Amino acid sequence: MPVYEFDLLVIGSGPAGQRAAIQAAKIGKRVAIVERKAVVGGICINSGTIPSKTLREAVLYLSGYRQRAFYGEAYTVKTDITMQDLLYRTDHVITHELDVTRHQLSRNHVQIINAEAAFVDSHTVRLKPLVETGERTVTSAYIVIATGTVATRDPAIPFDSETIFLSDDILSLHKLPRTLAVIGGGVIGIEYASIFAALGVRVTLVDLQQRLLSFVDSEVIEALTYHLREHRMTLWLGETVSGVERVENNTGPHAKIHLASGKQIVAEKALYSIGRTGATQSLNMEAAGLKTDERGRIKVNEHYQTDVPHIYATGDVIGFPSLASTSMEQGRLAACHAFGVKAESAPSLFPYGIFTIPEISYVGRNEEELTKQNVPYEVGKANYREIARGQIIGDTTGMLKLIFHSETRELLGVHIIGENASELIHIGQAVLAFGGKVDYFINNVFNYPTLAECYKTAAFDGVNRLGG
């Protein structure tokens, strides 16, 4: 057997790369992570998941959003909210998470190499350091590609990172706009659109599809769409953007968006959020016998192996669902498979969290999927306004929905919109995991007053629909 410098080399230090590296290190393997930036954590910590969710919390607090049911729509904690106010909290959380991540890798004896990686062959990687100290090559028995993605750029659009910008540029904005156009209604676009709308920014969202987030339960999306419009957001759905330009008027630079239908949108700033592209351009994939699709993504099998069996790919670089939580699990499973460690996981039970305002989370199947599969089902719903905790926290618009088999009563899916949706979903996830029935919620006792009581109320609602 050839002698390699490492047992596992991970390219990329985001959630997928971290978990793959730590899992291999836990079983005594020689592991290194190659990160081309000066800090670890990837997009997740530095410009994606952590910053956007922290920004969201800062907005919810400073805008007084959660208290408006009690004190009126004009209530705010701070009158003139600035980007500096929002970034103060964000910078604090990013610094902490970077420290935690580096410490986790260090205490598990994972070597961190700050360099840009490129394949020489399927076991050899050339490393170009950030500091000019000369290139070197390393070899590894197994390799995990976890390079994540970058925001997709249209070469015809004049990006300037301030007036017309990408989601990766948000943390560098100097001031909040009064008006914002968001091009693209995917998860990232709709999250930022709802965040800015909660601040009172007049947001216009444009998307090619007739319906937002087609993979989410339609009733939940209808509720989200209603709430967005309640916050004065304009939604142009089923529209194609034919051009974007930067224009000057009496108040300074603006973005003008031209739609194929002839409409025009003029806003102080424009966020372009039409998907993301796999960060694989500099890897010299061909040298390893690999190729990517037109969006830079890598095809893998159920074990996250690429076409070259000892090279794995995990996280956003392999495409949907592109969530930090699923990426972590993919990294762990890839490392386990590489070294013959038994590991089990249930992708069908991965929960999805979408941090719009209001928040959305779901697990299992939705009504559209079950109808296509000819599965007989019934639905039970609970509105937050029916629950004492919903009244206490001021969220009277939330809703929890249970879907269960109408004959066996087995739970099939849980869909939530409202405060703490991404936390509440794990109760339903656990019941789905052990094949539980809707009766579990009827027979169980929940703390009072809590939002978790929605499960019991929804279960009674669903069973009553069966006439039982």
The answer to whether 160 and 28 are in contact (CB under 8 A) is no
Please identify, in words, the CATH class of the domain defined by 164-274.
alpha beta
- Contacts by 47-52, CB closer than 8 A, 24 or more apart: 47/167, 47/168, 47/170, 47/171, 48/167, 48/168, 49/324, 50/93, 50/94, 50/97, 51/90, 51/93, 51/94, 51/170, 51/171, 52/167, 52/170, 52/188, 52/191, 52/192, 52/195, 52/355
Distance of alpha carbon 24 from alpha carbon 3, whole angstroms: 18
Alpha-carbon Rg of the chain, whole angstroms?
24
Q: Taking residues 187-195, what's their average pLDDT? A: 96
Q: What angle do the packed helices 49-62 and 187-198 form, to 10 degrees?
A: 20
Share of the chain above pLDDT 90, in %: 88
CA 156 to chain CA mean position, Å: 27
Alpha helices in 270-405 (DSSP H): 324-338, 367-372, 388-393
Q: Taking residues 207-218, what's their average pLDDT? A: 95
Tokens 């976890």, located at residue: 146
Q: CA quadruple 233, 234, 238, 244: dihedral positive or negative?
A: negative
Distance of alpha carbon 52 from alpha carbon 192, whole angstroms: 8
- Which range among 174-183, 193-202, 214-223, 338-347 shows the weakest confidence by mean pLDDT? 338-347
pLDDT class for 164, splitting at 50, 70, 90? very high
Task: Calculate the alpha carbon distances from 9 to 24, 56, 104 in Å.
Answer: 10, 35, 17
Residue boundaries of the structural domains of the chain: 6-150+277-348, 164-274, 358-465
- Which range among 48-52, 361-365, 448-452 shows the weakest confidence by mean pLDDT? 48-52
Distance of alpha carbon 192 from alpha carbon 273, whole angstroms: 10
Task: Calculate the alpha carbon distances from 315 to 18, 132, 144, 168 in Å.
Answer: 11, 30, 10, 18
Check whether the bond before 253 is cis (ω within 30° of 0).
Answer: no
3-state class percentages of the chain: helix first, strand second, coil last, to nearest 5: 35, 25, 40
235-260 per-residue burial string, b: 16 or more CB within 10 A, e: under 16: bbeebebeebebeeeeeeebbbbeee
- Going by C-beta distance under 8 Å and a sequence separation of 6 or more, which residues neighbour residue 50? 41, 44, 93, 94, 97
* pLDDT one-digit tens code per residue, 264-318: 999 999 999 998 999 999 999 999 999 999 999 999 999 999 999 999 999 999 9
3-state secondary structure 176-220: CCCEEEEECCCHHHHHHHHHHHHCCCEEEEEECCCCCCCCCCHHH
Q: What is the pLDDT of residue 250?
A: 86
Alpha helices in 29-82 (DSSP H): 42-46, 49-62, 68-71
Q: What is the pLDDT of residue 299?
A: 97
69-98 per-residue burial string, b: 16 or more CB within 10 A, e: under 16: beeeeeebeeeebebebbbebbeebbeebb
DSSP 76-115: -SSSS--HHHHHHHHHHHHHHHHHHHHHHHHHTTPEEEEE
Tokens 């929804």, located at residue: 458
Check whether the bond before 347 is cis (ω within 30° of 0).
Answer: no
Distance of alpha carbon 356 from alpha carbon 4, whole angstroms: 46
Alpha helices in 243-306 (DSSP H): none
Distance of alpha carbon 200 from alpha carbon 184, whole angstroms: 20
* pLDDT one-digit tens code per residue, 431-462: 999 999 999 999 999 999 999 999 999 999 99
Q: What is the pLDDT of residue 99?
A: 95
* pLDDT one-digit tens code per residue, 143-154: 999 999 999 999
pLDDT class for 1, splitting at 50, 70, 90? low
Distance of alpha carbon 113 from alpha carbon 438, whole angstroms: 50
Residues in the chain: 468
The answer to whether 275 and 187 are in contact (CB under 8 A) is no
Cα separation of the two ends of the chain: 66
Alpha helices in 242-387 (DSSP H): 324-338, 367-372
Q: What is the pLDDT of residue 50?
A: 93
Q: What is the CATH number of domain 6-150+277-348?
A: 3.50.50.60
Same fold, 6-150+277-348 and 164-274: yes
Beta strands 377-383 and 399-405 are: antiparallel
* pLDDT one-digit tens code per residue, 235-275: 999 999 999 999 998 889 999 999 999 999 999 999 999 98
Q: What architecture does CATH give domain 358-465?
A: 2-Layer Sandwich (3.30)
The answer to whether 173 and 52 are in contact (CB under 8 A) is no
Distance of alpha carbon 425 from alpha carbon 216, whole angstroms: 14
* pLDDT one-digit tens code per residue, 101-129: 999 999 999 999 999 999 999 999 999 99
